[in-house]
A and B are shown apart, each in its own frame.
Chain A
Amino acid sequence: MCFVFSLTLSCASSPPARVSVKKDQLSKYTAVALNVSCPELDVRYSREGDVSVIGGAILVACVVFASGFVTALVTESLIQSSADSKNTEGFNKALGENQFERLLGNYFLDQFTKVNLFKKLNYTAHGDNHKALVAEGFDSIIKLKIEDFCLKRVIDTNLLNLRVGAVAKMIDLQNEQVIWSQYEVVISDDKHTIDEYKADGAKILIESVDKSLRKIGSRLAWDIMYSK
Chain B
Amino acid sequence: MKHKMTLLILLLLTTSAIQSCSGDIKMDKIPELQSGSPLSGIKPLIFAVTHFKNAAGDEGIIGKPGGVWPDFKTDRPVDDIVRQAIINELIRNGHEVLSPESASKASVIIDGTVRQYWAWHKMAKIPHFHGHVLGHVNVDITVRFSDSGTILTKTYNGTSDLETQGFTKRNCESALNEALLRMLKDFTMDPDLLDGLNKVGKVSLQLIQRSVPQNKRIFLI
Q: Give the B-binding residues of A (Cβ under 8 A).
A: 3-4, 6-7, 9-13, 18, 20, 47, 50-51, 59, 72-73, 76-77, 152, 155-156, 182, 187, 189, 215, 218-219, 222-228
Q: Which 9 A-B pairs have the closest CB atoms?
A: A10-B166, A226-B36, A73-B127, A12-B174, A223-B36, A9-B165, A12-B162, A223-B35, A155-B122
> What's the nearest-Cβ distance from chain A to residue B182, in Å?
7
CB <8 Å contact, A7 and B126:
no
CB <8 Å contact, B122 and A156:
yes
Which residue of A is nearest B69, CB measured?
Answer: A3
- Give the residues from 159 to 196 in chain B that come closer than 8 angstroms, CB to CB, to chain A: 159-168, 170-171, 174-175, 182, 185, 189, 191
Q: How far is the CA of A189 from the CA of B136 in the complex (A)?
A: 11
Does B13 make an interface contact (CB < 8 A)? yes
CB <8 Å contact, A222 and B35:
yes
Specify which chain A residues have a CB less than 8 angstroms from the CB of B153 in the assembled complex: none
Q: Give the A-binding residues of B (Cβ under 8 A).
A: 13-14, 17, 20-21, 34-38, 40-41, 122, 125-128, 132-134, 157, 159-168, 170-171, 174-175, 182, 185, 189, 191
Specify which chain A residues have a CB less than 8 angstroms from the CB of B36 in the assembled complex: 222-228
CB <8 Å contact, B168 and A10:
yes
CB <8 Å contact, A12 and B35:
no
User: Out of A20, A51, A219, which one reaches B125, CB within 8 Å?
Assistant: A51
Q: Taking A76-B127, A222-B37 as contacts, is the C-beta distance between A12 and B161 under 8 angstroms? A: no
CB <8 Å contact, B40 and A226:
yes
> What's the nearest-Cβ distance from chain A to residue B1, in Å?
22
CB <8 Å contact, A12 and B165:
no
Specify which chain A residues have a CB less than 8 angstroms from the CB of B125 in the assembled complex: 50-51
Which residue of B is nearest A115, CB measured?
Answer: B41
CB <8 Å contact, B134 and A12:
no
> What's the nearest-Cβ distance from chain B to residue A146, in Å?
18
CB <8 Å contact, B170 and A12:
yes
Specify which chain B residues have a CB less than 8 angstroms from the CB of A50 in the assembled complex: 125
A and B contact pairs by CB, cutoff 8 A, 8 listed: A11-B165, A12-B133, A12-B164, A50-B125, A51-B125, A152-B161, A223-B35, A225-B36
Q: How far is the CA of A187 from the CA of B134 in the complex (A)?
A: 12
CB <8 Å contact, B166 and A6:
yes
Q: How far is the CA of A139 from the CA of B20 in the complex (A)?
A: 49
Q: How far is the CA of A13 from the CA of B174 in the complex (A)?
A: 9
Which residue of B is nearest A50, CB measured?
Answer: B125
User: Out of A10, A47, A73, A152, which one reaches B126, CB within 8 Å?
Assistant: A73
Which residue of A is nearest B14, CB measured?
Answer: A4
User: Out of B40, B157, B160, which one reaches A189, CB within 8 Å?
Assistant: B157
User: Out of A4, A11, A187, which one reaches B161, CB within 8 Å?
Assistant: A187
Q: How far is the CA of A76 from the CA of B129 in the complex (A)?
A: 13
CB <8 Å contact, B14 and A10:
no
> What's the nearest-Cβ distance from chain A to residue B54, in Å?
21
Q: How far is the CA of A223 from the CA of B39 in the complex (A)?
A: 11
